[in-house]
Amino acid sequence: MGGLPIRIDANSLRPDSFEPVASCDGLLVLRRYEVPTIPPYFKVELSTCDTLTGHVTSLPPTTFPNAYFHVVLSVGDAGHSFGLLVTDKKRRFYGTFSSKDNQWSAIREVSIPQVRYQCSSYCSAIIGRTVYWPLQVHATSHWDHILALDVDSAEATVMDLPPSCLCRMMTLKTGGNLLLAAVHGRLCLLVSESPGIAMWTLTSSVPVTWSRQVVISSVEIARQAGLGPLGAPYKFTLAPISFEGFGERSGAMILNWGNAQQLLFLRLDLGTKKEAPLVTRLSNPGKVVRFTCLFLHEIDLISLLQAMKSF
């Protein structure tokens, strides 16, 4: 992750008119809706921003007006080539963009099981050419299934969450207490449980098999965050932990922890080789602040250095 502010080229776009919708390896995808006065009366404009240089590139217009979800499929050549996937809100249709060809593919219809579901999360995980999204099938306060889309075949499958996954969570559950992630090339589900954070790893697709391991306890998070001795940590251990974002390259997670009166933001580093993951406090307990969406700024430093010209 980087601590430098993003410098956006003012001649390319107005920062207040775009919103970030996807990110990967230092490439940020920006979207803007326009309402022209002549047909077509609804237009979507997409751009990419190099978060190191601030350079912005506009993408060719897409013929897919209902694009709602955006996923960066791949990034290569130190950010100079990439693949982008866009889908409608129900994820029944999608299209892809290749920067090498500088054009969009034809819109494809997804072959998906006939189940009633709701897609409401930007959270996704990518392994190869398969994209995984949260899926809500039942009338609950959280998502309860996983949708897997094979981009090449347009085939989709619906997967159950791990057995006993939900019963280990706190009574009041939300979608923010679950997070899909690709960890070392495997699909993982991070879960905020009553005693801490656990990670379920998909070990087999047919039949679907998961393994579980405890990542860190709530008491250990409170201790590393310096919430104080003698009972002070336990006020937080009774509050649910929510996931704001995950960096697949670094293994860093952004968490919020607390209640309606006080909220604490933390970074949990899973990529270290220490016995317990490292916890860093990003804020002091304070008033509640929520993110609409959060993308971690990660860079493929090896590819970047290889692409640099020698002096």
pLDDT tens column, 32-72: 876 655 555 557 789 998 887 888 889 998 877 778 888 99
Q: Are 88 and 95 in contact (CB under 8 A)?
A: no
Whole-structure pTM value:
0.82
When pLDDT is averaged across residues 155-176 and rounded to a whole number, the result is: 83
More confident residue, 94 or 278: 94
User: What is the structure's pLDDT at 289?
Assistant: 57
User: What is the structure's pLDDT at 296?
Assistant: 73
Flag whether pLDDT at 6 surpasses 50.
Answer: no
Among 64-73, 85-94, 163-172, 239-248, the range scoring the smallest mean pLDDT is 163-172
Rounded alpha-carbon distances, angstroms, from residue 283 to 223, 226, 295: 15, 12, 18
Average pLDDT, the chain: 79
258: left (phi over 0), alpha (psi -120 to 50) or beta: left
When pLDDT is averaged across residues 130-148 and rounded to a whole number, the result is: 83
DSSP string, 58-85: EPPPPS-TT--EEEEEEEEGGGTEEEEE
